[in-house]
Amino acid sequence: MLEEIFVVNRLVLFVLTILVAVVLLVTIRQAKKGKKFFIRRIAGLEAIDEAVGRATEMGRPVHFSPGIAALSEETAAQTLAGLAVLGYVARLTARYDTDLIVTNRMPEVLPITEEVVRQSYLAEGKPESYNPDNILFLSDEQFAYAAGCMGIMAREKVAANIMMGAFWAESLIFAEGGFIAGSIQVAGTANTHQLPFFIAACDYCLIGEELFAAGAYLSQEPMQVAGIKVQDWGKLVAAVLILIGTITTTCKWPVIIDFFSRYAS
């Protein structure tokens, strides 16, 4: 009976997909209705506080880059998370009256960064301190943008260099520029192949999903928060399955593994 309707070896996957879909839809609805879901504060945000604090002490500016991705690609999610972090950084610099320089590679991202920074200064009650001349469009060529950033970091003696978003090969050039300028560097990206370079050259690094979680934590946007929650439940299920599986395997009790190899392969 079952065989005639379902692809039997994917039965568990089918149930799983339905579950994820239903839970996601319900969670988004609840979040939209105003239900608060708990997301812990990411440790990396403390590192940002510290970096901005040091820049304030030294009386030198903070540099922020939202990555080099456009808003129309898969990597847009990283840029959006980066912009949420930018809002946080801008509030800090507004509060402490520290200069904030934001550089952009994508022309389409420029107006959004301007708006984010302006709103943050407004929220801190300091609209007069907002300086639009410090929100820069450097170049839409990847390496020209990187070279431009390196120049700014050296000239302006940037004390804190914060990079949050999607980065590719230019991450090397950035990190080196910030290091030579002697800045505290905090980075975050979900492009795993670039993470090693950020970790080796920065003081703190948000790894992969941490960037999205930080974005959701700061923006409290229902769709983002619900997404993080559903993924968390998924991870919980994965962890519990792994625990049960390894223990039963060690005890040589194959029932559970057999079940999964029959209905989920």
Partner 1 sequence: MRRELPIAITFVSGILFLLDYFVKIPYLSEYVVGHFLDWAIVVAAFALLLGAANLLRIHVQRIVKGKKEWWNSLILLVAMFVMAIVPIIWTQQNAVYEYLFKHFFEHLNGTMFSLLAFYIASAAYRAFRIRTKEATVLLIAAVVVMLGATPIGAAIWKGFPQYSDWLQTVFTTAGMRGIMIGASLGAMVTALRIIFGIDRSYFGGQ
Partner 2 sequence: METLGIWIGALCTLAIFSYLLRENPFFRTAEHLFIGMAAGIGIFYGYQSIVTNAWNPLFNPGDEPRQWFMIVPLVLGVLLYTRFLKKGKWISRIPLGFMVGVGSALAIRGVIGASFMNQITATMSLPLWGVMSKFGIDSLLFILGVLGTLIYFYFSREQKGPLKVGASIGKWVMMIAFGASFGNTVMARMSLLVGRIYYLLGEWLAIL
Cβ nearer to partner 1, comparing 236 with 257: 236
Task: Copy the structure tokens of residue 108.
Answer: 């389409």
**Min separation Cβ 208 and partner 2, Å:** 7
The only residue of 58, 71, 136, 256 in contact with partner 1, by rule CB under 8 A: 71
Kindly tell me which of 157 and 235 has the beta carbon lying closer to partner 2: 235
Residue of 101, 150, 175, 216 interacting with partner 1 (CB under 8 A):
175
Alpha carbons 126 and 55: distance in angstroms, whole number: 19
Strands (E) across 122-212 are located at: 135-137, 160-166, 184-189, 204-207
Residue 102's beta-bridge partner residues?
64, 135
Residue 153 CA to residue 124 CA, distance in Å, equals 26
Q: Out of 136, 138, 172, 256, which residue is the one contacting partner 1 (CB under 8 A)? A: 172
Alpha carbons 6 and 1: distance in angstroms, whole number: 9
Of 220, 214, 221, nearest in space to 48 by CA:
214
If contact means CB under 5 to 8 A according to the sort of partner, which of partner 1, partner 2, none does residue 90 touch? none
Name which of 77 and 218 has its Cβ closer to partner 1. 77
User: How many whole angstroms separate alpha carbon 182 and alpha carbon 175?
Assistant: 11
Strands 184-189, 204-207: pairing kind:
parallel
Q: Is 195 in the site for partner 2 (CB under 8 A)?
A: yes
- Kindly state the smallest distance separating residue 239's Cβ from partner 2, in Å: 5
Q: Are 68 and 168 in contact (CB under 8 A)?
A: yes
**Judged by CB under 8 A, does residue 60 bind partner 2?**
no
Q: Residue 3, CB half-sphere, CA atoms under 13 Å: how many?
A: 1
- Coil, helix or strand for 71? coil
Cβ closest to partner 1, residue 121 vs residue 212? 212
Scanning residues 127 to 166, which ones bind partner 2 (CB under 8 A)?
143-144, 147
**Residue 161: strand pairing partners:** 63, 185
Considering CB distances under 5 to 8 angstroms, the limit depending on partner class, which of partner 1, partner 2, none binds residue 260? partner 2
Q: Which does 265 bind (CB under 5 to 8 A by kind): partner 2, partner 1, none?
A: partner 2
Distance CA(162)–CA(174), nearest Å, equals: 10
Under the binding rule (CB under 8 A), the answer on residue 50 touching partner 1 is no
Neighbour tally for 156: CB within 10 Å: 16
Binding characters for partner 2, 214-253, by CB under 8 A (x = yes): ---x----------xx--x--xx-xx-xxxxxxxxxx---
Binding site for partner 1 (CB under 8 A): 4-7, 10-11, 13-14, 17, 20-21, 24-25, 28, 71-72, 76-77, 169, 172-173, 175-176, 179-180, 192, 196-197, 199-201, 203-205, 208-209, 212, 223, 227, 230-231, 234-235, 238
